[in-house]
Structure 1
């Protein structure tokens, strides 16, 4: 996640935070970590292993503790906390800010925000939002569809039939996630997910027809905001003399964001039903993840048959 950042102003707008204090240019401040810290330990004066890059949260528990302190003690605690370059302090539950908090925020130039949400809810929602916003992202030219629960990324040269295949899959009950440009993110446990840029979401381009709105033509069940990237399929024009995999025992992978994605190459020629082939590829990929590899099972059966035949024939003449 090196280098990833999101503007504080974007977070304020997305969560409708109330700004209690913000120095000049505060909206341009950058958040670079997905973690959010409840400032309870720091308000007692304990700063070992404190990460000042995190947004600081003050809830009912912290407020109850601070109410037991004198004004001078609160001023001292907030002075220590805001002496670090924390990006923002958020008050949950619509709590009233202590005057000492606002005083120290002005002194150190720190942002103080407020939300009506309870502490647990806003923390979990904010962490999920930051995790998505800060996760490593790339954009690839292709089409992403969800087929039998498997996210299938179709790639290949322009005009090879990616969009046409996707629309046929949609007609067969599967879901379109993105056409033409696919934004791919790496999330927890190195799981890849893909979505469409907002501008072209739910649209698909068909040569000879133009741009169509899949959601309006086929209904909400035909589209999805995002899905995992489980399988990459390269579509290429059939080349006479080229060698294509007919057994499937060898596995190939494409590296996206340092994650290896199972990859197939499917040749395209008139008469081949690509939608059905991709359905089978998706089901077979799911089968492999469940521990069943048909190609290896078939190869093992053939080897066993050959060994039995060799045993029955016995050694050949010397």
Structure 2
């Protein structure tokens, strides 16, 4: 059974990544510089994979990938250098005529004046980096996948409990932050309080959660105020990012008294960015130990993921016992 949440605060469907985003993402790592077309830095990067346009430069355009960033490395540079100047400029300009928008020169290579003129003529962007082509392609692809990942922000507190990422959600005042605080004092770690930023890793189809940059490592506790978790409990009490394994929904017992699943046979999930995440609903009432219940729910989830299903095991035990009794009667 899938539950849909109404606690979404913001969505990021169709994330648009531009050349400017790539320039600013990790300057010390990619070491990119704008050579030409700085005014077109808002050009969208539509594919996270880099393209080596060696065949295209020879005039073979079948399966050319213009939506990708074009890398001009040693091989491409050597081939262009072997051509007469007019032919070289025309071949390079043909990349833009066939739809390319962004070209990056690697290995410390710099475009010629004619190549810069071609880029400007077609409204393209030229960038350069001293990195080796393979190193730049690896790092840039990783960064682009991070930038382009679908994202969403949910109201809720996320903690790491026994190695699992657990998101606590529910109406205000039900004790999410206080429960997280109790878990931290038991050796668990805070990921985010009150608002959790979630992203989908497209390669693994997993959801990862983190805090916003402005509130990371801080918690708001009613009656106490704002606390800085690492200062109070040590650096091991916080996590920067964690995979989401379980969503726990707090609800008033009076609201769901007739819906409570006492055996755990009903398996709920929450659909987050197209990924089904296991969901447990915990009734909240006076005197219930939410810290203990959340910790137990996480441990139960861990056992299920490892193939130990208590409900199924008990069901099989009862079935075997019934079969033995039936055989004795017969």
Pairing of 1:206-245 with structure 2 (within 5 A):
206-239=221-254, 241-245=257-261
State the 1:62 CA deviation. 2.0
State the 1:263 CA deviation. 0.8
Alignment check: 8 A CA contact 1:32 1:134 kept: no
Determine the structure 2 residue equivalent to 1:248. Answer: 264
State the 1:243 CA deviation. 4.3
Q: 1:63 to 1:160 in 2, by over 3 A?
A: same
Determine the structure 2 residue equivalent to 1:89. Answer: 103
Among candidates 139, 143, 161, match of residue 153 of structure 2: 139
- What are the ranges of 5 or more consecutive residues in structure 1 without an aligned counterpart? none
Among candidates 38, 50, 54, match of residue 52 of structure 2: 38
State the 1:40 CA deviation. 2.2
Supply the distance in 1 between the matched residues of 2:13 and 2:76 (Cα, whole angstroms): 32
State the 1:228 CA deviation. 1.2
Determine the structure 2 residue equivalent to 1:177. Answer: 191
1:307 equivalenced with 2:318 (yes/no): no
State the 1:241 CA deviation. 4.3
Supply the distance in 1 between the matched residues of 2:238 and 2:257 (Cα, whole angstroms): 39
Alignment check: 8 A CA contact 1:78 1:100 kept: no
Tell me the TM-score normalized by structure 2. 0.88
- What are the ranges of 5 or more consecutive residues in structure 2 without an aligned counterpart? 1-11
Supply the distance in 1 between the matched residues of 2:225 and 2:310 (Cα, whole angstroms): 40
Query: Which string of whole-angstrom CA distances, capped at 9 and with x for unpartnered residues, describes residues 164-217 of structure 1?
Result: 111121222222111111122222232111122211111111111112121222
SS at match of 1:125: helix
State the 1:272 CA deviation. 2.9
SS at match of 1:200: coil
Determine the structure 1 residue equivalent to 2:92. Answer: 78
Supply the distance in 2 between the matched residues of 1:13 and 1:4 (Cα, whole angstroms): 16
Give the RMSD, CA atoms, in angstroms: 2.0
Supply the distance in 1 between the matched residues of 2:187 and 2:83 (Cα, whole angstroms): 63
Determine the structure 2 residue equivalent to 1:68. Answer: 82
Alignment check: 8 A CA contact 1:33 1:134 kept: no
Supply the distance in 2 between the matched residues of 1:72 and 1:260 (Cα, whole angstroms): 56
Select the structure with the greater relative contact order (CA < 8 A; seq sep ≥ 6).
Answer: 2
Supply the distance in 2 between the matched residues of 1:88 and 1:181 (Cα, whole angstroms): 36
Supply the distance in 2 between the matched residues of 1:277 and 1:264 (Cα, whole angstroms): 11
Determine the structure 2 residue equivalent to 1:114. Answer: 128
Among candidates 171, 188, 192, match of residue 207 of structure 2: 192
Supply the distance in 1 between the matched residues of 2:277 and 2:175 (Cα, whole angstroms): 22
Among candidates 282, 285, 288, match of residue 301 of structure 2: 285
Tell me the TM-score normalized by structure 1. 0.91
SS at match of 1:132: helix
1:3 equivalenced with 2:14 (yes/no): yes
Matched residue pairs, number? 313
Supply the distance in 1 between the matched residues of 2:92 and 2:141 (Cα, whole angstroms): 24
State the 1:300 CA deviation. 0.9
Supply the distance in 1 between the matched residues of 2:230 and 2:107 (Cα, whole angstroms): 38
